[in-house]
Structure 1
Amino acid sequence: MKPILAPLAALALLLSAVPAAARVTDKEAAQLGGTLTPVGAEKAGNKDGSIPPWTPGKQRGSLSGEFYTDPAVEADKPLLTITRANMAQYAPRLSEGHLKLLATHDSYKLLVYPSHRHSAWPEPIYAATRENAVRCELRGTDELYGCRLGFPFPIPKSGAEAIWNHKLKWRGESVTRYNNQMIVQPNGQFQLTKIIEDVRFVYASIRNPVTLEGGQSDYLHYMARTTAPPRLSGTTILVHDKVGTGSEGRAAWLYTPTLKRVRRAPTVCCDNPAEGTDGNQFYDQVDMYNGVLERYNWKLVGKREMILPYDPFRLISPKTRFADLARPKHLNQDLARYELHRVWVVEAELRAGETHAFKKRRFYLDEDGWAIAMIDNYDNRGQLVQFQEGHIGFGYNILATSAAPEVIYHFGSGRYFVTTLFNEDKPYDFTQDYRPDYFSAATVQKRATR
């Protein structure tokens, strides 16, 4: 067995903070597909072999009706178990959130398995990413120019650039997602909300790619319809996400059965509680992080080897019921899987004059897929008050990496919130081909009242 714990010195951050910069040189871009994967990760494993070389997966499976599975990975046995008793030994490779969960709950543990690096993307994404490396430019935190289809910043120079890689990653052309959400009380009891989400990825579309050219350029259209519980059924949220700041960065509408009409919803933003979550998730915590970046100063801290939630086949299996997941204080950790991977560390500090429930956020992005795996959230006193955990999985059917489920731990109340669950529902349907006018206020009104 390869050792999974390296000396603390080897875990020092590899890059110091760097200011925002435009584009990379041709020499830097030439590393893509060479020493780096086509989207910017290091191809090689680490020195002791506990992180393997990149071995991209091959496309297989159906675009609809497909529950993700990988029998070879699922057959792995844990290498080790991290508990409160031995957490200090592994602390350099743990987030503050995981350390707090381990220190607080005797029942909490991390089962660490062999690491796998199968993340891969369609060839057009690779080609577009190579072009973006020397063409795409970020002005400020939210104005992108010259970016088309692929990851905008495969060799990031700033924290904001790394976050934009997460926001603009390829996830198929369009999708219908059956999203079940659990609010779990400290005693393990939970209430369930059921949502159907339709998404059109305007920017990351191989069929109809667009070039982002500053404010008002759409990159994603989203519609969410709540179907349960009855008191929320029929509530619909429509979002047009754009590059740009303030109101330019997002246009949103809300339909509620009580009003029976669609209205503009500027509050679908930032640290306002998301509909149907009873305050357990802010709007900018959907998909781990979304929306404008302008309220924060973003720092690219560097790269680090860390233990991440990864390959969550048991968590999302149709054999696993929602009741199997919910446990007092935390998710059922017998079903969760963790692996050692390299991450980009990004810190966001609230700007002077801006307001948000979180003064500081620390993001950990998987280097292979640019998906946010973990976030430590600190309040205005500097206390760690929330921890977000996104269980990273690879979809062989569409060649994309994203997080499901996502968990938000609330350290003050002892509650936790779980979203993007589909075990007892239908898997994602990537065969959709939505017309642009489907994501309009008129369509929402018509569907809601017919």
Structure 2
Amino acid sequence: MRKKILLLTCASMLLIGGSVVNGWAEATPEEIARLGNDLTPFGAEKAGNGDGTIPAWQGGITTPPAGYEVGMHHIDPYSDDKIIATITAENMDQYADKLTAGHKALLKAYPTFKMNIYPTHRSASAPQRIYDATRRIAQNAKMISGGNGLENVGEGTPFPIPDNGLEIVWNHLTRWRGNSLDRHYHNVPVTRSGKYVLGEHTELFDIRYSHPGMDDSKLNNIIYYYKSEDQAPARISGTISLVHETLDQNKEPRKAWSYNPGQRRVRRAPQIAFDTPTGGGDGLETMDSLDLFNGSPERYDWKLVGKKEMYVPYNAYRIMSPDISYKELLTPLHPLTDTLRYELHRVWVVEGTLKEGTSHIYKRRTFYVDEDSWSLVGADLYDTRDNLWRISEGHTINFYEVPAVWNIAEIHYDLQAGRYMADKLTNEIETMWKFNVEFARDEFSPQALRRGGKR
């Protein structure tokens, strides 16, 4: 029988009797009936917490703020909020039970790092059809291929009432982010002294999994199509990458191609996966740390630690403000902390441990997944000696014109090098991301990659 959720009031922890790989179970009709009642349509606890520091979910942001027009930088709907606490190295013990291991390490390592805590807003929302699809697929969605694929899914969140850590990872991989996206942004590796070279990129996504009416019969084993082109720095300018992300990666692993402007050739690129360094990332990001985690989960055993109240990046509208230049934002060791917003939210804590016989530069990864959106908002990454090495933050906003929750910035800290990567920045981008774009039928074909390539 499916193991039930056991609520523990101490330490605000919700522990799960998670299923093992051979013990996966489908949600029962009784569990599904909770969606939209005591649980949100995505399976989060609708109620607030006992002391009122986390409010009840009331639908999230359902309309854009007055004055917003598509294409603008997003207006901060919470700009009048005041800081309710500031966590520093001196007072962090007072908040220790609500801090990730990564944030504790940053506070200890960098005296200038601080965390400004703001009132919690449960702003996450999605279209009604995505909620309806989640309810529709929840009873029959299942993992296949040893957990490296899904079936009986499409549009919605497959496991809104998760029973193990791998289900939560799949919820993140298939979460609602809109139907498609055309985005232009900067990524910036910053040295210990604060010097940097600006990277510039354009990305196109066609997220087929989320298209209206999608199911196994129509997906053709594709979650999304992805294409990126590098404009800067000069050494990678003109490089184009193409990915077909598959739903059952045992049946058909991720397919990837790359166009090299120097060779003027398109080649298959199986290296666009796992721990290959990203182009322009200066060694601070791996391919599977983009979006804090993407791709096949096959190299790790995933353990569900539980659900906990934690201070995490959220409603990060200020970090992408066009009023803040990169020169101001990108200070040594970490971004300007007065641009960073942290709130108290309930997150699922999942730990991935590298399987025997596989390889990766990260022996262990701890993920913090927002209960309201299934978006990864934090990750602690450990080296082969089990030392905390890197820390990733997903600074999310509600793109309320869609609506959908996604990272507007990703910060990847390297504790050992004293460096960090600020990714997906748009402060000095004139036009914001375009969602639900119509693409030509062959936009994501290798042939189109070849046609689009130029020296």
TM-score normalised by the shorter chain: which range applies? over 0.9
Within 5 Å, which residues of 2 pair with 1:165-204? Answer: 165-204=171-210
Choose the corresponding residue for 2:168, options 159, 162, 165: 162
Q: Could you tell me whether the CA contact under 8 Å between 1:78 and 1:114 is conserved in 2?
A: yes
**What is the Cα deviation at residue 173 of structure 1?**
1.6
Secondary structure of residue in 2 paired with 1:315: helix
1:244 and 2:245 are equivalent in the alignment: no
* Matched-pair contact (CA < 8 Å) for 2:192–2:332: yes
Q: Distance in 2 between matches of 1:178 and 1:250?
A: 24
Q: Secondary structure at the match of 1:329?
A: coil
1:13, distance to aligned residue in structure 2 (A): 4.1
> What letter is aligned with 1:58?
T
User: What is the one-letter code of the residue matched to 2:111?
Assistant: D
Partner of 2:344: 340
In structure 2, the CA distance between the partners of 1:36 and 1:65, relative to structure 1 (3 Å rule), is same
| Change beyond 3 A, Cα 1:138–1:215 | farther
- In the alignment, structure 1 residue 222 sits paired with structure 2 residue 226: yes
TM-superposition CA deviations, 1:263-310 (whole Å, max 9, x none): 000000100111221211100011110000110111111110000011
Is the CA contact 1:144–1:212 (under 8 Å) kept in the aligned structure 2?
A: no
Deviations 1:55-98 (A, max 9, x none): 22213377840322233x11100001000000011111001110
User: What pairs up with 1:298-447 in 2 under 5 angstroms?
Assistant: 298-425=302-429, 426-447=431-452
Which of 51, 73, 84 in structure 2 is aligned with 1:79?
84
- Secondary structure in structure 1 of the residue aligned to 2:377: strand
Is the CA contact (8 Å cut-off) linking 2:99 and 2:310 kept in structure 1?
yes
Using the TM superposition, give the Cα deviation of residue 172 of structure 1 relative to its aligned residue in structure 2, in angstroms.
1.5
Tell me which amino acid in the other structure corresponds to 1:412. Q
When the two structures are aligned, how many residues end up with a matched partner?
Answer: 441
Distance across 2 between alignment mates of 1:48 and 1:380: 40
Q: Find the aligned partners of 1:154 and 1:265 in 2 and give their Cα distance.
A: 34
8 Å CA contact retained: 1:214, 1:244:
no
Task: Give how far 1:427 is off.
Answer: 0.7
1:209-268 CA-partner distances (Å, limit 9, x unpaired): 432379960011000001122222110000000022368230000011111111000000
Residues 427 and 156 of structure 1: CA distance in aligned 2, closer, same or farther (over 3 Å): same
The amino acid of 2:357's aligned partner reads G
Bigger drift between 87-96 and 318-327 goes to 318-327
SS of 1:248's equivalent in the other structure is: coil
How far did residue 17 of structure 1 move? 3.8
Residue 18 of structure 1, CA deviation: 3.4
1:449 deviates by 3.7
- Residues 394, 215 of structure 1: CA spacing in aligned structure 2 closer, same or farther, 3 A cutoff? closer
Deviation at 1:413, TM superposition (A): 0.7
Paired residue secondary structure (2:283): coil
> Is 1:122 aligned to residue 127 of structure 2?
yes
Q: Is the 8 A contact 1:160 1:298 kept in 2?
A: yes
CA distance in 2, matches of 1:89, 1:115: 19
Aligned to 1:100: 105
Equivalents in 2 of 1:152, 1:69: separation in Å?
32
Match of 2:156 in 1: 150
Whether 1:42 and 2:45 are equivalent positions in the alignment is yes
One-letter code aligned to 1:286: L
**What SS does the aligned partner of 2:435 have?**
coil
CA contact (8 A) 1:132 1:150 kept: yes
How many angstroms apart in 2 are the aligned matches of 1:205 and 1:32? 22
Q: CA deviation at 1:164?
A: 1.2
List per-residue Cα deviations over 1:178-203 (Å, max 9, x = no partner): 12100000111111110000110110
Preserved contact between residue 376 and residue 386 of structure 1 (Cα < 8 Å): yes
Partner of 1:31: 34
- Whole-Å Cα distance in 2 between the matches of residues 235 and 338 of structure 1? 36
Per-residue Cα deviation, 1:5-36 (whole angstroms, up to 9, x for no partner): xx993333433443351320000000000000
2:55 aligned to which of 36, 52, 56: 52
CA contact under 8 A between 2:190 and 2:330: conserved in structure 1? Answer: yes
Q: TM-score, normalised by structure 2?
A: 0.93
Give 1:431 shift.
Answer: 4.5
- Amino acid of the structure 1 residue aligned with 2:443: Y
TM-score (norm 1): 0.94
Identify the residue that residue 11 of structure 1 maps to in structure 2: 12
Q: Which moved more, 1:33-42 or 1:52-61?
A: 52-61
Report SS of the residue matched to 1:307: strand
SS at match of 1:181: strand
SS class of match (1:222):
strand
Q: Distance in 1 between matches of 2:206 and 2:69?
A: 15
Q: Which amino acid aligns with 1:19?
A: V
The Cα of 1:392 is off from its aligned counterpart by 1.8
Q: Distance in 1 between matches of 2:182 and 2:342?
A: 28
Structure 2 residue matching 1:392: 3-state secondary structure? strand
Contact kept, 8 Å, 2:367 with 2:379, in 1: the verdict is: yes
Is the contact between residue 145 and residue 213 of structure 1 (CA under 8 Å) also seen in structure 2?
Answer: no
For structure 1, which runs of at least 5 residues remain unmatched after alignment?
A: 1-6
The one-letter code sitting in structure 1 at the alignment partner of 2:180 is: S
1:273–1:283: 8 Å Cα contact kept in structure 2?
yes
Q: Distance in 1 between matches of 2:441 and 2:352?
A: 34
Kindly indicate whether the alpha-carbon contact (under 8 Å) linking 2:261 and 2:454 is maintained by their aligned counterparts in 1. Answer: no
Q: Which residue of 2 aligns with 1:3?
A: none
Distance 2:139 2:185 in 1: 37
2:189–2:197 contact (8 Å) kept in structure 1? yes
Matched-pair contact (CA < 8 Å) for 1:249–1:291 = no
Gaps of 5+ in 2: 1-7
Q: Does the 8 Å CA contact 1:223/1:236 hold for their aligned counterparts? A: yes
Call closer, same or farther: CA 1:247–1:260 in 2, change over 3 Å: farther
Aligned residue for 2:5? none
